[in-house]
């Protein structure tokens, strides 16, 4: 849902609240009021503003909603473009090429996308890239995606969930399947 849609979709809020937020957004009245705010400028959080005052003010100067509504993914994207303190990534999960044929890594603040064999969710590579460790990885990811950030290989264009289909996909890959045509 778009950002305006999210505002308008908050049906539990009164129309007065919605109008107030929009007036604040249009006139920029809140710029600076949430700078610095709580939370890392480089990651999304539910409150407006973020801790690095200079970064916060720079982003809110052209995206007022970040200092009125919440510091969401749009604000993080802006921060990565304009704030020296925000590298392209700080963890593997920040990098998502979206394909089962690439492993997304964050190396020294930059996303590095490495081509992998289908099912090689732990990126071990080598002569036998798919082994028991990949099955264990995706099982760990089933419990907590952060434990296997590249475990979402089903469907071929990732759907954002590590679930039973991904576990079955790794088992298929273990037996030689390559439905996504990975190199």
Binding site for Ca ion (CB under 5 A): 120, 122, 124, 129, 134, 152, 154, 159, 161, 166
Q: Tell me if residue 64 falls in helix, strand or coil.
A: helix
If the CB atoms of residues 53 and 105 are measured against Ca ion, the closer one turns out to be 105
Provide CB contacts within 8 A for 152, sequence distance 6+.
Answer: 100, 141, 145, 158, 159, 160, 161, 162, 166
Q: How far is the CB of 49 from Ca ion (least distance, A)?
A: 34
If the CB atoms of residues 18 and 124 are measured against Ca ion, the closer one turns out to be 124
Residue 155, preceding peptide bond in cis (omega within 30° of 0): yes
Q: How far is the CB of 133 from Ca ion (least distance, A)?
A: 6
Task: Please give the distance of CA 86 from its chain centroid, rounded to a whole number.
Answer: 14
If the CB atoms of residues 104 and 152 are measured against Ca ion, the closer one turns out to be 152
| Strand (E) or helix (H) holding 168 | helix 164-174
If the CB atoms of residues 24 and 162 are measured against Ca ion, the closer one turns out to be 162
Q: Which residue is nearest to Ca ion (CB)?
A: 124
Q: How far is the CB of 86 from Ca ion (least distance, A)?
A: 28
Q: How far is the CB of 121 from Ca ion (least distance, A)?
A: 7
If the CB atoms of residues 110 and 164 are measured against Ca ion, the closer one turns out to be 164
Distance CA(152)–CA(161), nearest Å, equals 6
Burial of 25 (0-12, 13-18, 19+ CB in 10 A): buried
């Amino acid at each position: 849902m778009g950002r305006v849609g999210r505002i308008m979709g908050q049906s539990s809020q009164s129309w007065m609240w919605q109008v107030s937020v929009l007036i604040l957004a249009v006139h920029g009245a809140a710029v600076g009021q949430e700078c610095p705010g709580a939370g890392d400028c480089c990651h999304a959080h539910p409150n407006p503003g973020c801790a690095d005052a200079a970064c916060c003010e720079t982003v809110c100067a052209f995206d007022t909603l970040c200092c009125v509504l919440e510091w969401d993914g749009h604000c993080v994207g802006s921060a990565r473009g304009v704030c020296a303190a925000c590298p392209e990534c700080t963890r593997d999960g920040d990098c998502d090429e979206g394909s089962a044929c690439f492993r997304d890594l964050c190396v020294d603040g930059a996303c590095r996308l490495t081509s992998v064999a289908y099912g090689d969710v732990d990126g071990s590579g080598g002569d036998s890239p798919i082994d028991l460790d990949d099955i264990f990885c995706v099982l760990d990811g089933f419990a907590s995606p952060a434990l296997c950030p590249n475990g979402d290989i089903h469907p071929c264009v990732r759907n954002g969930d590590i679930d039973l289909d991904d576990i079955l996909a790794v088992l298929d890959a273990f037996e030689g399947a390559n439905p996504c045509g990975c190199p």
